[in-house]
Amino acid sequence: MPDFQTTLVSSLYVHVPFCAQKCAYCAFYSEPSTGDLINRYVAGLVRELELVAEDLRPKTIFFGGGTPSLLNLRQWEHILRALERLNLLGAEEFSVECNPATVSADKAKLLRDFGVNRISVGVQSLDEALLDRLGRIHSREMVFKSFDLLRQAGFDNLNLDLMFAIPGQTLEIWRATLDEALALDSEHLSSYEVIYEDDTPLFAQLQAGEFDVDEDLACAMYEELVERATTAGFRQYEVANFAREQRRSDGVKEYWSDVGKDAQPSSSPPLHHPIARFACRHNVNYWRGGSFYGLGPSATSYVRGVRTKNWANTQLYCEQLERGKRAIESREELPPLKRAGETAAFGLRLVAGWPFDEFRRVTNFDLREGWTAEMGQLTARGWAARDENHFQLTSQGLRFADAAAEMFLR
């Protein structure tokens, strides 16, 4: 099995729990920012990094949130210098999420200078009325400006985040947003259907009958997404994620047979299920059941079969770290079979599904022994396909990946 005892953890997530204002649909832990609390958080985060640094050798780093780009230059420099001092820089993939309203040339340059090589831009929509409806703080113009600015700063691996099935969004609006977003020529595209989470303004509006959910329209939008992204040269590698195999400007085509610590580019496509070169390796590690440290308020870690969760309270997080200990709220050691079931479920979100050998290497269990009935049911329903070496969801099955994945939990 990988990851055990001697192997250092190669994946780091950092949660930045601040936003300029709360979006109408958002249930992530974040709050409107104040300068003092952000400074205190930065000091706490550096302390938390110090506490785990010895067990970390990051190949992927992801700063998400919240709005990481809300941190000012001084705060970013403090964090990046700490990463440098602790020998945590040099990741193959170092991503930072940015809101188009909070990107500046200085910040982009600083990030780039310290090895950030991938930016995920939270676009959500390119329709002004819908941006307003969602409570986003940026305009469509800011999306184009920030995209250009990031390119000028030298970022050649950019993701755009889009959202569909937004109340009030028609198929025509969605097509127009997709076309404009695809024309930007990013290396990666993520697109999720709106989810109605408890305790969000959007959920309250739904409960109050202000609009209805139209599942057929959501399905049609998903189909448009897959078709247009694929036509534009993206490869779908996960339910909601698309990546290029090459930059438009690149002459050489490279393929990645898998994404993980042993991944190597090659000039010829692997026989089965290639994952595109610009796939987000950090997220592929999640879907493949790899270990990762998650730092910051509310972040989850999964290290050698033990899941821990930090307090979703920035004050408390800071207090604990000021006393020199990690701000862990809960700790769960997963029994091997439960862990294998979760790993199976996560991995099915990937278009590549599970090569049986890979699943056994990661979990010590064999899908062909413990999950035969589930694989049979899904295959009979047309939601999955199986051959001698692999099991994967079909395009129809991917649309219902959550329901399919649930069947594999133990």
296: left (phi over 0), alpha (psi -120 to 50) or beta: left
For 234, other C-beta atoms within 10 Å of its C-beta total 23
Among 22, 109, 304, 307, binds ligand SF4 (CB under 6 A): 22
**Residues 272, 277, 283, CA angle at the centre, nearest 5°?**
90
Answer for the pair 347, 287: CB distance below 8 angstroms, yes or no. yes
The residues, ordered by sequence, that sit 6+ positions from 352 with a Cβ below 8 Å of its Cβ are: 237, 258, 272, 273, 274, 275, 390, 392
The residue within the footprint of ligand SF4, chosen from 12, 14, 19, 284 (CB under 6 A), is 19
Q: Which stretch binds ligand SF4 (CB under 6 A): 64-72, 162-170, 176-184, 247-255?
A: 64-72
Can residue 28 be called a binding residue for ligand SF4 (CB under 6 A)? yes
Quote the least distance from Cβ 30 to ligand SF4, whole Å: 5
Does residue 67 bind ligand SF4 (CB under 6 A)?
yes
Nearest CB to ligand SF4, comparing residues 189 and 348: 189
- Judged by CB under 6 A, the stretch of 26-34, 184-192, 225-233, 296-304 that binds ligand SF4 is 26-34
Measured CA to CA, the distance from residue 71 to residue 48 in angstroms comes to 18
Nearest distance, CB of residue 35 and ligand SF4, angstroms: 18
30 to 59, contacts with ligand SF4 by CB under 6 A? 30
Q: How many chain residues bind ligand SF4 (CB under 6 A)? A: 11
Q: Which residues between 332 and 391 bind ligand SF4 (CB under 6 A)? A: none
Chain centroid offset of residue 328 CA: 22
Q: How far is the CB of 103 from ligand SF4 (least distance, A)?
A: 13
Can you tell me which of 23, 160, 327, 362 binds ligand SF4, judged by CB under 6 A? 23
- Phi first, then psi: give them for residue 70, nearest 5 degrees: -75, -25
Return the SS3 of 19: strand
Contact window for ligand SF4 (CB under 6 A) among 15-23, 78-86, 151-159, 194-202: 15-23
Q: How many Å apart are CA 172 and CA 273, to the nearest integer?
A: 32
66 binds ligand SF4 (CB under 6 A): yes
Stretch that binds ligand SF4, among 16-24, 199-207, 236-244, 251-259 (CB under 6 A): 16-24
Q: How, if at all, do strands 188-193 and 234-238 pair?
A: unpaired
Give the DSSP letter of residue 274: P
Q: Give me the residues that bind ligand SF4 (CB under 6 A), please.
A: 19, 22-23, 26, 28, 30, 65-67, 99, 122
